[in-house]
Amino acid sequence: MAALRAAVLVLLGLRLGCAAAAVPLVIWHGMGDSCCNPRSMGYIKKIVENKIPGIYVLSLRIGNNLIEDMENSFFMNANDQVRDVCGQLANDPHLKGGYNAMGFSQGGQFLRAVAQRCPSPPMLNLISIGGQHQGSVYGFPRCPGESSHICDWIRKMLDLGAYTQAVQEHLVQAEYWHDPLKEEDYRKNSIFLADINQERGINETYKKNLMALKKFVMVKFLNDTMVDPPISEWFGFYKSGQAKETVPLRKTSLYTEDRLGLQEMDKAGKLVFLGVKGDHLQFSEEWFDTTVLPFLQ
């Protein structure tokens, strides 16, 4: 009887043209950007809304206005940013049933931290577009947008001591600065990346929460001149003690020891590695439509 009732409901739904509501999407911008820039996140939001009718898209803003949002991408402790976002998501009634997440550049690793630390509401799929999951911007080779004066100051601070307490607590880029020549300093003093990458011990909750994702999609820009090394976008990095030879994710200790659950996720088909020609965050709308949007539908 129950099976017959379910079949009738399905048929009624089809006849009435009912369709399942689109899964909401949460977007987090990168360094030097803001939630609603019409040339970046505003543009992405509009594409998604046009392609997926009825979808709810939340483009995260950290701060009271767009200027604060941009400044906080440089100067607000990443752990505080993640905590703020977790609160935003928990208080948004549109997200109660779960959501997909899409992070650009550092926004990709920050959303991974959200997945690991804040499982409610549940993140379903995580799409990281140019996110530096093993750290970077080693050497800080290029400055985004119109923030060159800020970047010059950041370079000076990183040169003075990326792993000092004062720099770690007040400079976002230092918090995912991964110097392959100073691995011990990184593991001991990095207040953000070393924590979410399980460098100082295993947090089983982090592992369990990340493994709950349906898909973890990582996009690497094949001609990236900003992220060093670009393989960090696929969770690879330099071999320890030098800055020339890199190793892919599957040969890292993070994977072989499965400290974060990535090996098990990989075997289950949950990890997706995508490559796109172009420099950092440079991609066409056609590529986005055909390659990324299917993970949101």
Residues designated as active site: 105, 224, 280
- Give me the residue label for tokens 């599957």: 250
Largest CA distance in the chain: 73
Q: Sort strands 25-28 and 99-104 into parallel, antiparallel or unpaired.
A: parallel
What span, in angstroms and rounded, lies between the C-alpha atoms of 283 and 281?
6
What span, in angstroms and rounded, lies between the C-alpha atoms of 292 and 297?
10
Residue 195 contacts by C-beta under 8 Å, 6 or more apart in sequence?
none
- The amino acid that residue 191 corresponds to is I
What span, in angstroms and rounded, lies between the C-alpha atoms of 297 and 215?
13
CA atoms within 13 A on the CB side of 19: 9
